[in-house]
A and B are shown apart, each in its own frame.
Chain A
Amino acid sequence: MSKMAHLKIFRGDAQRGEMVDYQVPIAPGMVVLDAIHAVQATQAPDLAVRWNCKAGKCGSCGGEVNGKPRLMCMDRMDKYADGEPITIRPLKTFPVIKDLATDVSWNYTVNKTIPAFQPPAGQAELNFSQAEADRVQEFRKCIECFLCQNVCHVLREHEKYDDFGGPRFFVRVAGLEMHPQDTADRTGLLKDDLGLGYCNITKCCTEVCPENIAITDNAIIPLKERVADRFFDPLRALWRMLFGSKT
């Protein structure tokens, strides 16, 4: 008889729900998502959970395991103590659709507001170095699991959905703004529409990023500097006052 895992999984929707107990046999190397699939296949076929790649590449299976935001496909069962129940809840920051699936459509709405990459006109082929690529490739590793959005207190506690874009989209903007060949300007968008100023760099997002993107240090802080340079530099403000120039 193999060892059993004890799971407590949220079952319910936006209105109501409860934690339901399940037991499934543990196999070597099992991850939390495997255990959920075992529950689904044998005990609760209508248990809703998102997943795709099962290898940490697609960012579909985010959940809160024992209160910690995790990609469930990369969360090994053997790191949890024997026999202790493992609680699995949906991401808290987004409305529950059913069980572990949440409504993350807000993120897609924010994404649409970000102007696309704009290369210099008339170039069939772009030229830039690997060192320049490295800088933005870090941001482009993002798998859109939205764990950073989930833990950001501006969203999680203060629910500033209308005024704030969240770390995922600062990472996205950083990837565009720091692209060596991009010609668009998103500084105004960052300050006004995406509410970059609300971020007080507590680094919660960086801590949960499964791709280890240095969200705060490499994306948010440099973007804050750009916004400050543009809008809050006293010399520039004086220049604008005197000459009315845009910069």
Chain B
Amino acid sequence: MSKYQTVSYDVVVVGAGGAGLRAAIEASASGAKTALVCKSLLGKAHTVMAEGGVAAALANVESRDSWQTHFRDTMKGGKFLNQWRMAQLHAQEAPERVRELERWGAVFDRTRDGRILQRNFGGHTYPRLAHVGDRTGLEIIRTLQDKGVHSGIDVFMECTIRRILLDDGRVAGCFGYQRESGRFMVFHSKAVVLATGGIGRCWQITSNSWEYTADGHAMALWAGADLIDMEFVQFHPTGMVWPPSVQGTLITEGVRGEGGVLLNGNRERFMFRYIPELFQGEFAETEEEATRWIDAVVAGQRPEARRPPELLTRDVVARAIRREVREGRGSPHGGVFLDIASRRSSEVIKKKLPSMYHQFKELADVDITREPMEVGPTCHYMMGGVRVHPETQESTIPGLFAAGEAAGGMHGSNRLGGNSLSDLLVFGKRAGEHAAAYARAQAAGAIDDAQVTSEANEALAPFDHSNGENPYAVHEELRALMQTYVGIVRTQDDLKHALEQIQLLRQRAVQVKVGGNIQYNPGWHLALDLKNMLDISEAVTQAALLREESRGAHTREDFPDSSPSWGAVNLVVQQRERKLSITQVPLPEMPAELKELLKSE
């Protein structure tokens, strides 16, 4: 019954955050006829919410910085589970990607000698994050957007892609619907780049927007592609905890980069007690030493003291906060305190952290220049994603590429702050370039009309259900389930319980009913998204159950230590005959000179 509109391109990029925009710009510049398809209006994607900065070893502030140090920090932050070649390319190419943005009009904060300023962040040995106050993501997305509109790209706004269409095992295009009209669309293309971001809407407390419904992860899985590292979900240590309206909203790590300290309910600076073995000797061990570090940074000098433990990696800080709260040392609303007011002047706070100031003042009645913030962990970023070739970003399906958060492997078991914005620039460009090259060498595949019709009918089914539930109710239950049982700290029993419950929710999800018509109908859109979120929640939970160790963002209470044998493998998730299968894949062998880098201090 369903009619659909077909448009033809060489390359279709799904998602218009930083990775998608950068991929589309590059694909178009490489001569491919390129479409950019996004669920929101252009310029509203999740990149806009990135705050602290983009990591690149420009060495503008600290001349000792280099790609080698950035590589080492990234691997160490990921507890060595990262695909080394991605981490290497990322560290090597990030500086040029940042300078390129500046040539495209981005206006970063400046050093005294007029170059791009860089700030300190967790896990980075040196001040490395190019930034614009605390709105770096806005600067990056706007720069790419303004570059993109002059790049000959066709943009399809408010259009959701649901399925990758295959012809004989390779990409023939993709299928979706226009949110505004509800009409179905087929993008007939030689290559598809998934730049769909993450999966945070599977959790209750999250910094992620409605868009993060695991679309790309799920579409890749359904198409038969491999997913990797799915057990690693990053909980950012500092989300807002009060009032309930803003629970989970992000507070940039830049607050700690600018000198902010974490205090428990007894006003004790607890992070000194949580320095892991891997980082012993690299962090300040007394308040006095930490203060000397801040004083030097504020004065623009090279610090002799070691860094404050608040700048440990996110996995470490999030676990520490959780523990303080669990053991009864939390703040009144179940978080801890983050204090910048006693460390920096009111003027500096307003200048370097303007949107944090604004956000707390307007939404929480807290003046961060005078009093501490209350903070707690919030689901923030997906390390796992589509398994890609490190050079080309092509998945295990010919013609299907992925970049940014939708792709996995770069960050291993834990991402460093600032490495996401650089990741999406470096690998967005690579994905666009190689998707265009792939498209040049291929003839277009055929679209299977019967498949499209069947997809369309399946999509319309919720309108015919007479007795089903409201999709919002099922979604809220999934979020609560994942929050409680597949959160920061996991156990075998919890994970098994979650898997059982996901099966029950799946039965309810296929029955949900929606009212109204197909035009701009968020209830319908959510009903369709439930399938993505359930399948990917299951993938995360299965992988988390299998990995019987604690590493990076994956903490098992029943297996609290890291194990060398688990540290030698990545988990790869596939869907075969509608069932998930997980295999252990050995890490690729690293060249000797890179191994040396990881040893050197």
Contact with A along B388-406 (1 / 0, CB 8 A): 0000000000000000000
The answer for the CA separation of A2 and B326 in the assembled complex, in Å, is 29
Residue B242 at the A interface, CB < 8 A?
yes
Residue B514 at the A interface, CB < 8 A?
yes
Among B270-278, B354-362, B538-546, which stretch is in contact with chain A?
Answer: B354-362
Residue of A nearest to B359 (CB): A55
Contact of A46 among B42, B45, B132, B515 (CB under 8 A): B515
With contacts A45-B514, A112-B149 taken as known, whether A55 is within 8 angstroms of B520 at the C-beta atoms is no
Residue of B nearest to A172 (CB): B146
Residue of B nearest to A59 (CB): B44
Contact with B along A92-116 (1 / 0, CB 8 A): 0000011101001100100110001
With contacts A101-B520, A104-B41 taken as known, whether A53 is within 8 angstroms of B209 at the C-beta atoms is yes
Residue B377 at the A interface, CB < 8 A?
no
Whether the Cβ atoms of B523 and A45 lie closer than 8 Å is yes
Whether the Cβ atoms of B249 and A55 lie closer than 8 Å is yes
The answer for the CA separation of A54 and B138 in the assembled complex, in Å, is 14
Residue B364 at the A interface, CB < 8 A?
yes
Residue A19 at the B interface, CB < 8 A?
no
Whether the Cβ atoms of B42 and A108 lie closer than 8 Å is yes
Q: Which residues of B contact A203 (CB under 8 A)?
A: none
Q: How far is the CB of A173 from chain B (nearest CB, A)?
A: 12
Among B78-86, B109-117, B485-493, which stretch is in contact with chain A?
Answer: B109-117
Q: Which residues of A contact B109 (CB under 8 A)?
A: 130, 133
Whether the Cβ atoms of A28 and B355 lie closer than 8 Å is no
Q: Which residues of B contact A59 (CB under 8 A)?
A: 44
Among A34-42, A80-88, A218-226, A229-237, which stretch is in contact with chain B?
Answer: A34-42
Among A136-144, A152-160, A185-193, which stretch is in contact with chain B?
Answer: A136-144
The answer for the CA separation of A133 and B131 in the assembled complex, in Å, is 12
Contact of B210 among A29, A51, A128, A132 (CB under 8 A): A51
Whether the Cβ atoms of B519 and A98 lie closer than 8 Å is yes
Residue of A nearest to B132 (CB): A137
The answer for the CA separation of A42 and B359 in the assembled complex, in Å, is 27
Whether the Cβ atoms of B245 and A48 lie closer than 8 Å is no
Q: How far is the CB of A203 from chain B (nearest CB, A)?
A: 21
Residue B587 at the A interface, CB < 8 A?
no
Q: How far is the CB of B515 from chain A (nearest CB, A)?
A: 6
Residue B516 at the A interface, CB < 8 A?
yes
Contact of A74 among B103, B363, B476, B523 (CB under 8 A): B363
The answer for the CA separation of A59 and B355 in the assembled complex, in Å, is 13
Residue A68 at the B interface, CB < 8 A?
no
Residue B107 at the A interface, CB < 8 A?
yes
The answer for the CA separation of A200 and B209 in the assembled complex, in Å, is 39
Residue A176 at the B interface, CB < 8 A?
yes
> Which residues of A in the span 61-79 have a Cβ within 8 Å of any Cβ on B?
74, 76
Whether the Cβ atoms of A28 and B243 lie closer than 8 Å is yes
The answer for the CA separation of A136 and B142 in the assembled complex, in Å, is 14
The answer for the CA separation of A112 and B146 in the assembled complex, in Å, is 8
Q: Which residues of B contact A123 (CB under 8 A)?
A: 103
Whether the Cβ atoms of A40 and B250 lie closer than 8 Å is no
Residue of B nearest to A98 (CB): B520
With contacts A29-B245, A116-B146, A128-B114 taken as known, whether A45 is within 8 angstroms of B99 at the C-beta atoms is no
Residue A228 at the B interface, CB < 8 A?
no
With contacts A60-B44, A179-B107 taken as known, whether A46 is within 8 angstroms of B514 at the C-beta atoms is yes
With contacts A29-B246, A41-B472, A130-B110 taken as known, whether A143 is within 8 angstroms of B138 at the C-beta atoms is yes
The answer for the CA separation of A117 and B473 in the assembled complex, in Å, is 47
Whether the Cβ atoms of A99 and B132 lie closer than 8 Å is no
Residue B244 at the A interface, CB < 8 A?
yes
Q: How far is the CB of A183 from chain B (nearest CB, A)?
A: 12
Contact with A along B132-143 (1 / 0, CB 8 A): 110101110010
Contact of A29 among B150, B244, B521 (CB under 8 A): B244
Q: How far is the CB of A202 from chain B (nearest CB, A)?
A: 26
Residue A240 at the B interface, CB < 8 A?
no
With contacts A27-B244, A98-B520 taken as known, whether A45 is within 8 angstroms of B470 at the C-beta atoms is yes
Whether the Cβ atoms of A41 and B107 lie closer than 8 Å is no
Whether the Cβ atoms of A137 and B107 lie closer than 8 Å is yes
> Which residues of B in the span 73-112 have a Cβ within 8 Å of any Cβ on A?
99, 102-105, 107-110
Residue B29 at the A interface, CB < 8 A?
no
Residue B522 at the A interface, CB < 8 A?
yes
Whether the Cβ atoms of B139 and A140 lie closer than 8 Å is yes
Q: Which residues of A contact B210 (CB under 8 A)?
A: 51-52
Residue of A nearest to B251 (CB): A55
Residue B524 at the A interface, CB < 8 A?
yes
The answer for the CA separation of A225 and B515 in the assembled complex, in Å, is 55
The answer for the CA separation of A95 and B250 in the assembled complex, in Å, is 33
Q: Which residues of B contact A130 (CB under 8 A)?
A: 109-110, 117
Whether the Cβ atoms of B358 and A45 lie closer than 8 Å is no
Q: Which residues of A contact B242 (CB under 8 A)?
A: 28-29
Whether the Cβ atoms of B520 and A99 lie closer than 8 Å is yes
Given A97-B180, A101-B180, A133-B108, 18 further pairs, Cβ under 8 A: A27-B245, A28-B243, A29-B242, A30-B243, A30-B245, A41-B472, A45-B472, A46-B517, A46-B522, A60-B40, A98-B180, A98-B519, A108-B157, A112-B149, A124-B99, A129-B114, A136-B107, A140-B138
**A–B pairs, 20, beta carbons within 8 Å:** A29-B364, A40-B472, A41-B472, A46-B522, A48-B520, A52-B48, A58-B44, A58-B209, A97-B520, A98-B519, A101-B180, A108-B155, A116-B147, A117-B105, A124-B103, A130-B117, A137-B107, A137-B133, A140-B142, A143-B48
B residues apposed to A, CB below 8 Å: 40-46, 48-49, 99, 102-105, 107-110, 113-115, 117, 132-133, 135, 137-139, 142, 146-147, 149-150, 155, 157, 180, 209-211, 242-246, 249-250, 355, 358-359, 362-364, 470-473, 476, 514-517, 519-524, 526
A residues apposed to B, CB below 8 Å: 13, 27-31, 34, 40-42, 45-60, 74, 76, 97-99, 101, 104-105, 108, 111-112, 116-117, 119, 123-130, 132-133, 136-137, 140-144, 175-176, 179, 182
10 A-B pairs with the lowest CB-CB distances in the bound complex, closest first: A29-B243, A45-B523, A117-B105, A46-B516, A41-B472, A48-B520, A127-B114, A98-B520, A29-B245, A130-B110
